[in-house]
Amino acid sequence: MEKYYKKILWLAIALYLVVFSLVSFCRYTHFLYNGLDLAIINNVFWNTVHGHWFWSSIQGHSYLGDHCSPILILLLPVYFLWQSPLLLLILQSVFLGLAAWPIYKISQFKLKDNSLALGIAALWLINPLTHNINLYEFSFISLAPFLFLMAFYFYLKNKILLFSIFIFLSLLIREDVAFIILIFSLIILFNKKYKIAVILFFTSIAWIIIANKIIASFSSSNFSPFLYYYSWLGSAGSSAIAAHILSYKNLEMITGFLLPFLFIPLLKPQWLLLALIPLAEIILSAAGGGAQIFMMHYGALFLPALVIAFIGGFHRANQFVEDKLKSKYLLLICLMVINIFLWVDFGVFKKEIYPNRSKWSNTQQD
């Protein structure tokens, strides 16, 4: 019977890959990627393949002066075969689609129910937050859900070698992923996994230091350019900071991340701590949060925590619904319906796949 569920899951993943690769292709051919991220990262890949390692011609400096993403090196052989932005968009769809696999395995491990595990994996594939990451440019952090969730699954299974490999790959994604792993080490320390926790803690601390030194050495300002986002904190009073943290924009962002999960992750708040530092990075920046955060790629830093906490809290929530309404699948069905309705409000249908015909005609004439 489990083979049957696995076949359904892999068919769903394949369908996701085809659909979102095609949607990304349509957006690309209609010039709808205009946020520069795709252009910059593709340019960095192209320059690296041609011997100018990590150089960004668009920015006029090394990409390492912005972010430390050595995982680019591991992706180079694939990019070498097809040197196109379309490859990056397809890779992004592949990694996001494949994240459904560790979600299925984690759910299976926690719930001991293949059908519910399959449903939760399907929720990932129809979640508008997943779609928003997929359709917003290209970012290395789109690899984080798959790699970190694989690491988490192998942690649950006590497969230390595979766990270590996926943690290592996660660290290579971008410097801020190390903060998620740092918090993870503290959580498992309290779960009395002392040896793994200590190794993970010092590894993540070491990588945070090394990565930021690399960024500083390639940055014209000798430190991360993104620190400017927090310069306002130096002159702000405590009341201004508190008002900023509790602003409508930040509350809107948090609500937007929790709504597709029906706030179930709040039942397992310890795993939400994985998103604590990424949340602080957004909330304490001068611009703060807002709907644009969950409409862009930033969700990739929050979704591992949300998914793990959701799976942890789902059993309790589903048991309550089953006891009261005598239905094992009602909560899952409600979640699916809500996620599909959210496509219209802040998901896939909120983004243009094709531009307005008249606008397209005018562009062609210009």
Name the band, by pLDDT with cuts 50, 70 and 90, for residue 34.
confident
pLDDT of 335 above 60 = yes
pLDDT digits (tens, 9 = 90+) for 53-79: 999 999 999 999 999 999 999 999 999
Higher pLDDT, 363 or 107: 107
* pLDDT tens, position by position, 184-222: 999 999 988 899 999 999 999 999 999 999 999 998 777
pLDDT beyond 80 at 360: no
pLDDT at 361 over 60: no
Q: Which carries the bigger pLDDT value, residue 291 or residue 85?
A: 85
| pLDDT band of 327, cuts 50, 70, 90 | confident
Task: State mean pLDDT over 2-25.
Answer: 95
Q: Is the pLDDT confidence value at 356 over 50?
A: no
* pLDDT of 192: 85
| Residues 257/290, Cβ–Cβ less than 8 Å | no
Mean pLDDT of the chain: 92
pLDDT of 259 over the 60 cut: yes
pLDDT confidence of 103, banded at 50, 70, 90? very high
Q: What is the pLDDT of residues 242-256, one digit of tens each?
A: 999 999 999 999 999
pLDDT exceeds 80 at position 6 = yes
pTM strictly above 0.85: yes
